Amino acid sequence: MNKPKLLVMDDYEEELAQSPAMEHLRQLADVTILNHPIDNYNILKDFQFVLALRERTKLDVRFFESCSSLELVLQTGGHAYHVDQAAATQKGIIVALGRRVSKPAVVVPELALGFMLGLVRQIYPHTTAMSNGEWRGMIGGSLAGRMLGILGYGRHGRPVARLAEAFGMKVVAWDRTGSHPAPDEFGVRRLPLDDLLAESDVVSIHLRLSDESRGLMGREKLWRMKPGAILVNTSRGAIIDESALIDALREKRIAGAGLDVFAVEPLPESSPLRRMPNVLLTPHVGWQVRDVFHEFVEIAADQLDAWLKNELPKSDMLNPDAMKVNRPRSGGLGQ
């Protein structure tokens, strides 16, 4: 009996292919791995399964209409901002989320602290000067004793607080519930958002993208930040109004920004953010470490195995209603 076919998309670094769990996938399906963007959607028609790497390919109406045989998308990571859920459901295609991935809860906070250190200690200007043959010291600062304000005190925000405290920072937090419980076991206080912005030397964003958080850091909130503060975003680009941020940086309302995520990705070459000396930029790599790629494959293999045994939990599915669409399937929902 022929195995069903699985397409692994967007493995540009060829790291998914190196995962030890890839052998498990190959036992379950005939695997094809793409190390470049899809340039012809016609290839999709032959595959029953797709492993999608984060948001590198937009899973929109055009995508799903090109998938005549597709029954299951193994979506790495726990977010699906790039997925047209209605289109997938209408076609009867289940999207399984890799919510169990654990490593980003560690590596994303590490990048956030890297931005803070880089900006406060003037690492990029010093590196640029040295590359130009100069030897001159610029006055930097220290994280010790500074106030860090965390927007979103959850899966990523809490580890950021622990790391910041190791550098001697004081930490306050705000979350969307608006509640102000007593300080936790680490002494982290909750503050109203406006108070946090006014008091913090560093503001680090760790919120999910939602209707409430989209555009949250617009001109009004940016101008409430402490003069000379820095802003770090390793969450979602659309939480910040980029045009307002550019104005705040140009007018020196804030001292700098460290950004891993952007409203439009890739960040357009024309963006002024690319040429600002007080900005550190990375191309949405907060999650990109080898262990995360390998864990993605492990979870996808487990989910595909469960699907083929009719044991995939409904809790793993973004759109379990797609199961109601009458169509041939290799597997399905567990009891």
Task: Count Cβ atoms below 10 Å from residue 314 Cβ, excluding itself.
Answer: 10
- Shared-domain flag, residues 134 and 57: no
pLDDT tens readout for residues 3-54: 999 999 999 999 999 999 999 999 999 999 999 999 899 999 999 999 999 9
Mean pLDDT of 311-323: 96
Rounded CA-CA distance 54/173 in Å is 28
Mean pLDDT of 178-193: 85
- Burial of residue 83 (CB within 10 Å: 0-12, 13-18, 19+) is buried
Residue 215 lies in a domain: yes
Q: Which domain holds residue 298?
A: 5-102+289-324
**Residue 191's pLDDT band (cuts 50, 70, 90):** very high
Mean pLDDT of 194-200: 97
Report pTM.
0.86
Contact yes or no for 294/273 (Cβ under 8 A): no
pLDDT of residue 103: 64
- Residue with tokens 């490593």, as numbered in its chain: 103
Residue 334 lies in a domain: no
**Residue 100's pLDDT band (cuts 50, 70, 90):** confident
- Calculate what percentage of the chain has a pLDDT beyond 70: 99
Domain count, the chain: 2
Asked whether the predicted pLDDT for residue 184 surpasses 90, the reply is: no
- Burial of residue 322 (CB within 10 Å: 0-12, 13-18, 19+) is buried
Rounded CA-CA distance 280/151 in Å is 19
Mean pLDDT of 134-163: 94
**Residue 331's pLDDT band (cuts 50, 70, 90):** confident
Q: Which has more confidence, 290 or 184?
A: 290
Rounded to 5 degrees, φ, ψ at 148 are: -105, 125
- Shared-domain flag, residues 14 and 86: yes
CA atoms within 13 A on the CB side of 217: 32
pLDDT of residue 258: 98
Helix axes 104-120 and 157-166, enclosed angle (nearest 10): 50
Q: State which of 17-26, 77-86, 183-192 shows the largest mean pLDDT.
A: 17-26
Asked whether the predicted pLDDT for residue 73 surpasses 90, the reply is: yes
Mean pLDDT of 201-209: 96
Residue 330 lies in a domain: no
- Shared-domain flag, residues 97 and 109: no
Residue 180 lies in a domain: yes
- Shared-domain flag, residues 273 and 305: no
Residue 293 lies in a domain: yes
**Residue 333's pLDDT band (cuts 50, 70, 90):** confident
- Shared-domain flag, residues 265 and 118: yes
The catalytic residue positions are 236, 265, 284
- Shared-domain flag, residues 95 and 110: no
- Shared-domain flag, residues 51 and 171: no
Rounded CA-CA distance 283/296 in Å is 20
pLDDT of residue 104: 64
**Mean pLDDT, the chain, whole residue set:** 94
Rounded CA-CA distance 260/276 in Å is 15
- Shared-domain flag, residues 179 and 276: yes
- Shared-domain flag, residues 11 and 95: yes
The CATH number of residue 191's host domain is 3.40.50.720
Strands (E), 166-206: 170-174, 189-190, 202-205
